[in-house]
């Protein structure tokens, strides 16, 4: 061997010995954060933005079990392939599998009736939950259940005790809290020997998603001995819906102690054939460890887009768990060949990746702006999805779930997300005319209070509930539309909608200096108490007069003019945090949580409020409060979130804020500087790597005194998205 070759080999060996192994970011994630209190987070196996969220579903199907899981309860009726994460309404839990031994009733059953149904307690002391993997022993049956997933498929591994009556129940009845199966069916496939080798079928349901359709194919690592169909005699749900309840008992051969069964399940929103194709493409084999390793790799690739340096292990766990939560949804909603089911229930071939689970009233504030920064490769598909939803249903999405418009929450939040993406350069190949058509058509609809707003100039409180909140959210959407119109050169349209974005001033009470509900005759609603709220009957949506006073991020200068001066505005803003930290009124929304005075971090309308201090020239006050929120509202405990996770928004606020900035204004591509939490961070962005440092950061030195961008002094209180997306260096110089 030549000297040159020997030298090259030696160098390669030295480099290999010195190389740092890639960081396992998934090991920093604690999926149990947010499973207590009202966090409502999903626990189970999935991959980033996957259709399948495979995890346990409990007996209680109530508000705090919207995800199917709660820290306080260990009942399990089975392992469902779809779940929501952090929502305030329940749905999904589709295609539920439950391994059993013995002859059990194939139903959900009741915890109050021992032996009823197929449910079991899960042994939480031996539960394992990590990104891409979940396992728990089922105490009733002595079965260890393990789960992992791909984007459209779930893989189960069940380890049985010795049993002559082993089976897997496929439950097509059970759905989320307010979901009823309307049509269900099974199809069997047999091998050359006549043995059952696969079970396919479908579940159609109505609930939050009023016309949901999901198809599946389940394959087993051994032939089934038999398949027994059981139709539950309950024919009508509590909502009076004719329920099609169907269970299939997959009878297995006798099991020896420790014998394992694997089941792989493919889902499709299109057809059984689509589910089969998804299974063949994503899960062709039976290597459980390999599938789990691929899932973990996928999580590490996405989590590794943001790398932080901190000596505080708990803060690191909070951060990466938060980042993990932002990637549960939006979820893929098509087949591997691109076929998808549209909002009009028509199946189409797609030239883009179709998505669903758009909790836009929540996520337009931080989760979607975060996506534009760290997931730019997905944004054209998001824009294309939203545009096609507009073409299929006539307006941009509000709260879109499994191909269905729920119209949940107020305003036009889809317009904000769509316009923000357009302003940042994500067009999905759409023409300027197509973009403006979608935005203007959505703004000109005649439903959801828009007709009243057009007729009276505001939404009257005596004609429409939650009138103030609804109108204010429309103002924010109008401002976003105006921003997009300006960027695209439609100045006449921009001017008109910019004017509409000021309509919130119709609710201004100059005497009390609050925004109040107004009747058709122009009078204010009485009585008025700024800390009062009554769920779904007040003038505000999940909030109080104190909280909604500040929901004008598009119009801070106009708000200042109404108060009379910047100093008076700051004094009033201080009053928000000094007000009583409780809510008056019966049946107030539990979403109004995480209170500092009347500031409610547990609900989304206030998430920009702390950054108003920076917008008003007192970033020091905002930084102190932001750091208080870090300490008090985000912990490593199961009850570690101030409110519902809301499909990534609660966590996205933490991710962005802890990096040192936050996008406060609708479709304005800049991020206001707040309170960086990390000594150093690096973010993978479209143009490379964004290096962020907080020089001199300590408990005392926690305020940003100077900013340098790529080595040059930066004198603005915000950072431009156009600079951040390129990569480079942002240096915060910290002081007391």
At 319-373, the pLDDT tens digits run 999 999 999 999 999 999 999 999 999 999 989 999 999 999 999 999 999 999 9
Rounded CA-CA distance 121/138 in Å is: 6
Total domains in the chain come to 2
**Average pLDDT, rounded, for the chain:** 94
Cα first-last separation, the chain: 63
**Residues 397 and 265 placed together within one structural domain of the fold:** no
Question: Is the pTM higher than 0.75?
Answer: yes
- Tokens at residue 159, please? 């380890």
Please determine, for residue 375, whether its predicted confidence score (pLDDT) is greater than 80. Answer: yes
Taken as a whole, the chain contains a residue count of 736
- Tokens at residue 183, please? 């049509």
pLDDT bin (cut points 50, 70, 90) of residue 233 is: low
- Tokens at residue 124, please? 């939480």
Please determine, for residue 423, whether its predicted confidence score (pLDDT) is greater than 90. Answer: yes
**Residues 323 and 458 placed together within one structural domain of the fold:** yes
pLDDT in tens, 114-138: 778 999 999 999 999 999 999 999 9
Grouping H, G, I as helix, E, B as strand and the rest as coil, residue 728 is strand
**Residues 141 and 240 placed together within one structural domain of the fold:** yes
**Residues 292 and 409 placed together within one structural domain of the fold:** no
Identify the pLDDT of residue 421: 98
Report the 10 Å Cβ neighbour count for 244.
19
pLDDT bin (cut points 50, 70, 90) of residue 92 is: very high
User: Between these two residues, 361 and 20, which has the higher pLDDT value?
Assistant: 361
**Residues 200 and 322 placed together within one structural domain of the fold:** no
pLDDT in tens, 522-576: 999 999 999 999 877 789 999 999 999 999 999 999 999 999 999 999 999 999 9
pLDDT bin (cut points 50, 70, 90) of residue 588 is: confident
Identify the pLDDT of residue 131: 98
Domain boundary among 270, 303, 336: 303
pLDDT bin (cut points 50, 70, 90) of residue 597 is: very high
Residue 716: inside a domain, yes or no? Answer: yes
pLDDT-above-90 percentage for the chain:
89
Look at residues 650, 572, 570, 555 and name the one whose alpha carbon lies nearest to residue 607: 650
What's the domain range around 161?
Answer: 25-303
**Residues 690 and 726 placed together within one structural domain of the fold:** yes
**Residues 316 and 261 placed together within one structural domain of the fold:** no
Residue 677: inside a domain, yes or no? Answer: yes
* Contact criterion met (CB below 8 Å) for 186 and 370: no
Rounded CA-CA distance 654/640 in Å is: 12
In angstroms, what is the C-alpha Rg of the chain?
27
Cα dist. 144→249, 258, 559, 736 in Å?
Answer: 19, 9, 59, 54
Which DSSP symbol is given to 137? E
Identify the pLDDT of residue 585: 87
Report the 10 Å Cβ neighbour count for 190.
12
Identify the pLDDT of residue 241: 64
**Residues 432 and 518 placed together within one structural domain of the fold:** yes
Could you tell me the sign of the dihedral formed by the alpha carbons of 80, 342, 449, 471, in that order? positive
Q: Which helix (H) or strand (E) holds 706?
A: strand 703-709
Where are the alpha helices (H) located in 307-412, listed in sequence order?
Answer: 313-325, 360-363, 367-374, 376-393
pLDDT bin (cut points 50, 70, 90) of residue 506 is: very high
* Contact criterion met (CB below 8 Å) for 472 and 555: no
CATH, residue 461: 3.30.2080.10
């Amino acid at each position: 061997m030549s000297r040159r070759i020997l030298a090259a080999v030696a160098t390669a060996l030295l480099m290999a010995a010195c190389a740092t192994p890639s960081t396992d970011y998934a090991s920093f994630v604690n999926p149990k954060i947010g499973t207590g209190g009202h966090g409502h987070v999903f626990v189970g196996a999935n991959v980033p933005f996957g259709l399948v969220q495979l995890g346990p579903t409990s007996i209680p199907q109530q508000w705090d079990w919207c995800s199917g899981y709660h820290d306080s309860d260990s009942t399990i009726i089975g392992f469902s392939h779809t779940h929501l994460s952090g929502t305030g309404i329940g749905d999904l839990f589709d295609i539920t599998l439950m391994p059993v031994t013995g002859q059990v009733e194939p139903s959900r059953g009741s915890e109050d009736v021992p032996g009823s149904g197929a449910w079991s307690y899960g042994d939480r002391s031996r539960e394992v939950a990590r990104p891409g993997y979940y396992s728990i022993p089922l105490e009733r049956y002595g079965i260890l259940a393990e789960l992992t997933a791909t984007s459209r498929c779930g893989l189960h591994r069940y380890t049985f005790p010795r049993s002559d009556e082993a089976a897997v129940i496929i439950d097509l009845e059970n759905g989320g809290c307010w979901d009823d199966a309307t049509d269900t069916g099974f199809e069997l496939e047999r091998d050359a020997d006549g043995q059952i080798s696969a079970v396919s079928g479908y579940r159609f349901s109505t609930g939050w998603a009023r016309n949901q359709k999901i198809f599946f194919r389940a394959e087993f690592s051994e032939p089934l001995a038999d398949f027994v169909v059981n139709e539950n005699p309950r024919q009508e749900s509590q909502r009076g819906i004719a329920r099609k309840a169907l269970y299939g008992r997959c009878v297995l051969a006798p099991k020896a102690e420790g014998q394992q069964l694997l089941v792989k399940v493919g889902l499709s929103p299109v057809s059984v054939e689509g589910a089969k194709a998804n299974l063949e493409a994503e899960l062709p084999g039976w290597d459980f460890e390999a599938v789990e390793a691929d899932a973990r790799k996928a999580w590490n690739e996405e989590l590794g887009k943001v790398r932080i340096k901190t000596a505080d292990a708990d803060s690191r766990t909070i951060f990466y768990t938060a980042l993990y939560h932002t990637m549960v949804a939006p979820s893929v909603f098509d087949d591997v060949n691109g076929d998808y089911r549209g909002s009009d229930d028509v199946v189409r071939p797609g030239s883009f990746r179709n998505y669903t689970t758009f909790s836009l009233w929540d996520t337009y504030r931080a989760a979607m702006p975060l996506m534009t920064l760290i997931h730019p490769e997905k944004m054209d598909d998001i824009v294309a999805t939203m545009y096609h939803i507009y073409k299929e249903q006539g307006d941009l999405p509000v709260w879109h779930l499994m191909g269905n418009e729920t119209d949940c929450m107020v305003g036009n939040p889809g317009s904000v997300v769509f316009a923000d993406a357009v302003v940042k350069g994500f067009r999905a190949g759409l023409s300027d005319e197509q973009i403006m058509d979608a935005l203007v058509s959505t703004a000109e609809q005649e439903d959801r209070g828009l007709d009243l707003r057009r007729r009276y100039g505001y939404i009257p409180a005596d004609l429409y509930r939650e009138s103030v909140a609804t109108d204010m959210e429309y103002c924010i959407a109008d401002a976003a539309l105006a921003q997009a119109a300006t960027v695209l050169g439609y100045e006449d349209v921009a001017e008109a909608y910019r004017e509409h974005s000021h309509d919130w001033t119709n609710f201004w009470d100059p005497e009390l200096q609050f925004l109040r509900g107004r009747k058709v005759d122009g009078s204010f609603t009485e009585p008025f108490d700024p800390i009062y709220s009554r769920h779904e009957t007040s003038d505000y949506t999940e909030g109080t007069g104190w909280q909604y006073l500040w929901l004008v991020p598009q119009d801070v200068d106009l708000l200042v003019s109404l108060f009379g001066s910047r100093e008076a505005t700051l004094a009033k803003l201080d009053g928000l945090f000094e007000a009583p930290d409780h809510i008056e009124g019966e049946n107030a929304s539990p979403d109004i949580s995480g209170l500092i005075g009347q500031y409610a971090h547990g609900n989304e309308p206030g998430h920009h409020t702390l950054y108003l201090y920076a917008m008003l020239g007192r970033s020091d006050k905002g930084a102190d409060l932001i750091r208080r929120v870090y300490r008090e509202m985000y912990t490593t405990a199961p009850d570690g979130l101030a409110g519902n996770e809301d499909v990534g928004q609660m966590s996205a606020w933490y991710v962005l804020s802890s990096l040192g900035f936050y996008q406060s204004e609708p479709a304005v591509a800049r991020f206001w500087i707040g309170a960086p939490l990390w000594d150093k961070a690096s973010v993978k962005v479209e143009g490379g790597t964004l290096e962020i440092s907080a020089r001199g950061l300590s408990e005392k030195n926690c305020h940003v005194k100077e900013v340098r961008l790529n080595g040059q002094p930066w004198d603005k209180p915000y950072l431009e998205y156009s600079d951040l997306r390129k990569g480079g260096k942002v240096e915060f110089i910290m002081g007391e």
